[in-house]
């Protein structure tokens, strides 16, 4: 009887106790017992240790990157030397276990995991909510985009556009947007998001325009990333004027992700023509940490009114939720 009770008690001992001990012995003197980044009074550091407990910080990153940081040390990712490398002293299993424990300190479910944060494409809106600044150059037009996460699944966005062509008015317009991650699954490696963009009649925009959309991202096989979006365009007094179907695929190869997108716009009213364009592009991770990235490519119109001229497109982005601009190089 007693033996049976002992067996039951042993089986019920917290399964993560091994991880917890590793964390306490290896990490807590800098990151704090609760992960909040309050180093022990006896520990001297030149930069504050990361707060491992904030859900937004830990869930937006991949487990793989944290394993990399703990194995190879902060310096390998452009972070401080104060974050030591454990790769020599610990086994890969121990590192995985302690990283999983550190990532569990957030203590909440429902945050979209960083594994589903796919590289930004030219056309398709990202389904992952972001804290980002993006500067875009499109032919003679420029765009500044600011994105801000709110809680687990919501993101607000503001965009200002300029155009330096033969017209006098360089100010092209502004757009405000909101998006909400409806569903995500790490197991299925996919997520889907609902969004709404609103463009007031400012700059070169004459009428109010509202664009509800649904966007998704997925890794259907291997390392192939597929992202898509369906957008419906509504104009003031005109109702729904067009539907756009956007689809892109890419594959990460080291710091590069070559991608190809297609965008097909079908007018639902009037005599407007259908438009079809292709967008070959190369996404490049610039900083070692991965929080600064750029992309270069082109828009190649295939169907639509003449003249159909190719346009160069490029952007630079900074994920300011990840690290300060000059950190992580």
Contact positions vs ligand HEC (CB under 6 A): 26-27, 29-31, 45, 47, 49-50, 52, 57, 66, 69-70, 74, 79-80, 82-84, 86, 98-99, 102
CA separation (Å) from 259 to 24, 237, 249, 265, 278?
A: 43, 37, 6, 20, 11
Question: Counting Cβ atoms within 10 Å, is residue 29 exposed (0-12), middle (13-18) or buried (19+)?
Answer: middle
**CA–CA separation, 203 vs 77, rounded Å?**
42
Nearest CB to ligand HEC, comparing residues 45 and 167: 45
**CA–CA separation, 86 vs 92, rounded Å?**
9
* Helix, strand, coil share of the chain (percent; to 5): 20, 40, 40
> How does DSSP classify residue 75?
G
Nearest CB to ligand HEC, comparing residues 87 and 203: 87
Nearest CB to ligand HEC, comparing residues 29 and 311: 29
In this structure, is the dihedral angle defined by the CA atoms of residues 22, 27, 29 and 31, taken in order, positive or negative?
negative
CB of 99 to ligand HEC, least distance (A): 6
Bridge partners, residue 218, by sequence? 190, 226
Nearest CB to ligand HEC, comparing residues 123 and 289: 289
CB of 187 to ligand HEC, least distance (A): 23
CB of 63 to ligand HEC, least distance (A): 10
Nearest CB to ligand HEC, comparing residues 52 and 242: 52
CB of 219 to ligand HEC, least distance (A): 23
Nearest CB to ligand HEC, comparing residues 79 and 124: 79
Nearest CB to ligand HEC, comparing residues 53 and 120: 53
| Residues with Cβ within 8 Å of residue 229, at least 6 apart in sequence | 123, 124, 125, 213, 214, 215, 216, 244, 245, 246
CB of 82 to ligand HEC, least distance (A): 4
How far does Cα 272 stand from its chain's mean position? 35
- Quote the tokens at residue 113: 């995991």
Per the listing, tokens 């033996």 go with 3
Respond yes or no on whether the N-terminal peptide bond of residue 307 is cis (omega within 30° of 0).
yes
CB of 116 to ligand HEC, least distance (A): 18
CB of 77 to ligand HEC, least distance (A): 7
């Amino acid at each position: 009887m007693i033996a049976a009770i002992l067996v039951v008690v042993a089986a019920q001992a917290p399964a993560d106790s091994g991880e917890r001990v590793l964390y306490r012995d290896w990490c807590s003197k800098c990151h704090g017992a609760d992960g909040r980044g309050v180093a022990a009074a006896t520990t001297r550091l030149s930069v504050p240790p990361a707060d491992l407990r904030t859900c937004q910080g830990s869930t937006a990153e991949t487990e793989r990157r944290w394993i990399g940081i703990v194995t190879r040390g902060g310096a390998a990712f452009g972070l401080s030397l104060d974050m030591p490398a454990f790769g020599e002293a610990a086994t890969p299993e121990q590192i995985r276990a302690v990283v999983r424990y550190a990532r569990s300190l957030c203590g909440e479910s429902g945050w979209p995991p960083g594994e589903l944060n796919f590289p930004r494409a030219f056309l398709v809106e990202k389904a992952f909510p972001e804290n980002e600044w993006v500067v875009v150059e499109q032919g003679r037009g420029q765009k500044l985009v600011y994105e801000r996460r709110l809680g687990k699944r919501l993101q607000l966005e503001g965009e200002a556009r300029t155009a330096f062509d033969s017209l006098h008015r360089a100010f092209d317009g502004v757009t405000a947007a909101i998006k909400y991650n409806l569903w995500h699954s790490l197991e299925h490696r996919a997520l889907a998001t609902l969004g709404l963009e609103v463009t007031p009649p400012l700059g070169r925009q004459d009428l109010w325009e509202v664009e509800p959309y649904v966007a998704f991202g997925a890794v259907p096989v291997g390392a192939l990333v597929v992202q898509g979006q369906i957008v419906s365009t509504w104009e003031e007094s005109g109702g729904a004027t067009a539907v756009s179907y956007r689809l892109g695929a890419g594959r990460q190869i080291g710091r590069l992700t070559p991608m190809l997108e297609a965008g097909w716009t079908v007018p639902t009213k009037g005599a407007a023509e259908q438009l079809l364009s292709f967008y070959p592009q190369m996404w490049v991770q610039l900083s070692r940490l991965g929080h600064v990235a750029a992309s270069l490519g082109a828009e190649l119109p295939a169907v639509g009114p003449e003249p159909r001229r190719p346009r160069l497109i490029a952007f630079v982005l900074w994920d300011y939720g990840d690290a300060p601009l000059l950190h992580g190089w």
